[in-house]
Amino acid sequence: MTNIIAENRAGDNAQALTVSEISASLKRAVEDQFGYVRVKGELSGFKRAASGHLYFGLKDENAMLDGVMWKGNAARLPFAPEDGLEVVLTGKLTTYPGRSKYQIVADQMELAGEGALAVLFEKLKARLAAEGLFDPQHKRKIPAMPSVIGVVTSPTGAVIRDILHRLGDRFPSHVIIWPVLVQGENAAGQIAAAVKGFSDLQEGGPVPRPDVLIVARGGGSIEDLWAFNEEAVVRAVAHCSIPLISAVGHETDTTLCDFAADLRAPTPTAAAEMAVPVRADLLDRVGQNALRLDRAVRRNWTQSSERLEAQRRLLPKLTELTAPQQQRSDELGERLGRGLERRLSGAAIAFTPLSRALGPRLLERTLEMKQKAFGAMRLSGALLESRLVHGQQRLIAAHRLLESLHPEAPLKRGFARVTDSTGKTVMTRDAARAAGHFTLRFIDGDIGAMVNEAGEAVKPASKPLAEKPASPKSPKNTASGDQADLFG
């Protein structure tokens, strides 16, 4: 009879395990048995999570193995994984209890031979070409004579020496080298950063902006040159604002950088030849052009001289053109002399009667007549005496008016003149209150006074001011014509 409820039997070693216990046991068994494995297969269902982890499947003709690569290892991959690539994974097998499956945790991912690299190359090339990065209409012309050349390459090795040597032989230029790794894990990032760094240089900055760039590397296998196939490098080359020459590998080597560049050179040495002209050839060409220019100028001058001489022969002689005018000028000169003589003779005839009328006798008679008229105009004594009396009367009247208007004249009639400390006449009560102390001037002298709180004038307690002598009774010195004010 089958039991409905599970029971533990005495002596039974098959104890019931939990799901977690058996999953953990399987995990330990798998990891102990397959702690380090290398698995070859084709990537399928590849995806990159937002966290940076990679999830994929690895398959062959008969089976499929799930795989994962954590973010730290994924960031060090020298290529971009995608479906269809044949790769070799290095890692360990483990289980995933959450889904009851086993998977490989890859520490390293490598392409399975050059065939896989070629497949990846073609896929990446097709994708970037579809974006227009290799479009010929975006290619720019390399400047004929660049003054500054930028080179992105390794600072050691034969490549940079060949470039500098060829530039020095052909056309010595200012060369700026941006040293980078050209092979290995960090090569692609350094090459892309160097190209972008040159492109971002500004005109007139501390570092001269190159007129042309050369990205160069020596020959090698497709794996050695793979850094120049990385998407970051290709995009940096395609978007560079400076005309760029790609010189990666030998003539038979081809990289995606070659397709994105403005010009491809078969070798680094050839890139230097494409970047600059031959200085000797330029000097020879300039000399030839100078000779051609000299011959052209001489030929033009000769032809112009011949045409001018031909035109001169067709023109009439100068004496023939000016002969009528010279003859007329001679005739007018003779007529002018005769005319002046006639005018002078006529003027002399007209002046003769006038000269006779202006003789000395006429002037003497005129003088005698003027002297007689002046003697008849003498003044009589009675007329002069009458004018003198009239002038004396006017002077006496003016003197009397001056005495009556003198400022001291009112003092004789009992008036007093009030002045402040500055000698200015005080005209009103308010002015007296404002002054406080003032002086009263009488006909026989001055006396000081002040204003009390009630606004009345009182004699000050201090010693009175010294009396001033009375002004003269007769203002005899005021006859100058300036009449003074009545109270100053």
- Tell me which range, 119-128, 190-199, 414-423, is most confidently predicted by mean pLDDT: 190-199
CB-CB contact of 154 with 179 (8 Å): yes
pLDDT band at 477; cut points 50, 70, 90: very low
Residues 152 and 35 both lie in one domain:
no
pLDDT-based confidence at 471, cuts 50/70/90?
Answer: very low
**Strands 54-59, 64-69: pairing kind:** antiparallel
Higher pLDDT, residue 469 or 454: 454
Q: What is the total count of domains within the chain?
A: 3
Closest CA to 44 of 34, 54, 29: 54
Confidence of residue 453 (pLDDT cuts 50, 70, 90): low
- Judged by average pLDDT, the poorest of 86-90, 280-284, 480-484 is 480-484
pLDDT of 473 above 70: no
* 412: in domain: yes
pTM: 0.48
Q: Are residues 49 and 99 in the same domain?
A: yes
Q: Looking at 178-192, 326-340, 449-463, which range is the least confident one? A: 449-463
pLDDT tens digits for 274-289? 999 988 888 888 888 9
Residue-wise pLDDT for 120-173, tens only, equals 888 889 999 999 999 999 899 999 899 999 999 999 888 999 999 999 989 889
Same-domain status, 147 and 276: yes
| pLDDT tens digits, one per residue of 11-21 | 556 667 777 77
Domain holding 105: CATH number? Answer: 2.40.50.140
CA quadruple 73, 78, 79, 85: dihedral sign:
negative
337 domain-assigned = no
pLDDT of residue 256: 93
β-bridge mates for residue 446, sequence order: 441
Pair 88, 156 in one domain: no
Residue 42: φ, ψ to 5°:
-105, 135
Residue 380, pLDDT > 70, answer: no
The pLDDT of residue 470 is: 45
The verdict on residue 265 lying in a domain is yes
Q: What is the DSSP string of 174-199?
A: EEEEEE--SSSTTHHHHHHHHHHHHH
Q: Which domain holds residue 424?
A: 401-472
The verdict on 103 and 143 lying in the same domain is no
Instruction: Round to whole Å and give the CA distance between 488 and 474.
Output: 17
For residue 193, being part of any structural domain is answered with: yes
Sign of CA dihedral 207, 211, 216, 222: positive
* 105 and 143 housed in the same domain: no
Is pLDDT of 464 > 60?
no
Name, of 217-231, 235-249, 386-400, the range with top average pLDDT.
Answer: 235-249
Q: Are residues 99 and 193 in the same domain?
A: no
Residue 55 CB neighbours (<10 A): 14
94 and 164 assigned to the same domain: no
Q: Dump pLDDT digits (tens) for 318-338.
A: 777 788 888 888 888 888 888
Residues of the chain with pLDDT > 90: what percent?
29
Query: What average pLDDT score do residues 404-414 get?
Result: 77
- Most confidently predicted of 102-111, 385-394, 467-476: 102-111
Q: Which helix or strand (DSSP H or E) is residue 47 part of? A: strand 37-48
Residues 239 and 154 both lie in one domain: yes
> Taking all residues of the chain, what is their mean pLDDT, rounded to a whole number?
82
Residue 465 is assigned to a structural domain of this protein: yes
Domain's final residue, options 280, 296, 320: 280
Boundary residue ending a domain (226, 259, 280): 280
More confident residue, 198 or 282: 198
Question: At 231, which CATH number?
Answer: 3.40.50.2300
Sign of CA dihedral 196, 198, 203, 207: positive
Q: pLDDT confidence of 472, banded at 50, 70, 90? A: very low
Q: How many contiguous H segments (helices) and E segments (strands) does the chain have?
A: 13, 14
Query: Which pLDDT band holds residue 346 (cuts at 50, 70, 90)?
Result: confident
* Domain membership flag for residue 417: yes
Domain C-terminal end among 225, 255, 280: 280
State the DSSP H helix or E strand holding residue 395, giving kind and residue range, or none if neither: helix 381-404
Query: Is 243 part of a structural domain of the chain?
Result: yes
The per-residue pLDDT for 293 is: 93
Distance CA 127, CA 119 (A): 12
Establish if 76 belongs to a structural domain.
Answer: yes
Mean pLDDT of 434-451: 84
Q: Is the domain of 274 the same as that of 190?
A: yes
**122 and 139 Cβ atoms separated by less than 8 Å:** no
Shared domain check, 145 and 263: yes
pLDDT at 269: 93
Instruction: Please check the confidence at residue 454 and state whether its pLDDT lies above 80.
Output: no
Average pLDDT over residues 95-112: 83
Q: Which of 144, 160, 153, 161 is nearest to 180 (CA)?
A: 153
Mark whether 216 and 152 lie in a shared domain: yes
3-state secondary structure of 461: coil
Instruction: Report pLDDT for 484.
Output: 44
- Residue 488's pLDDT band (boundaries 50, 70, 90)? very low
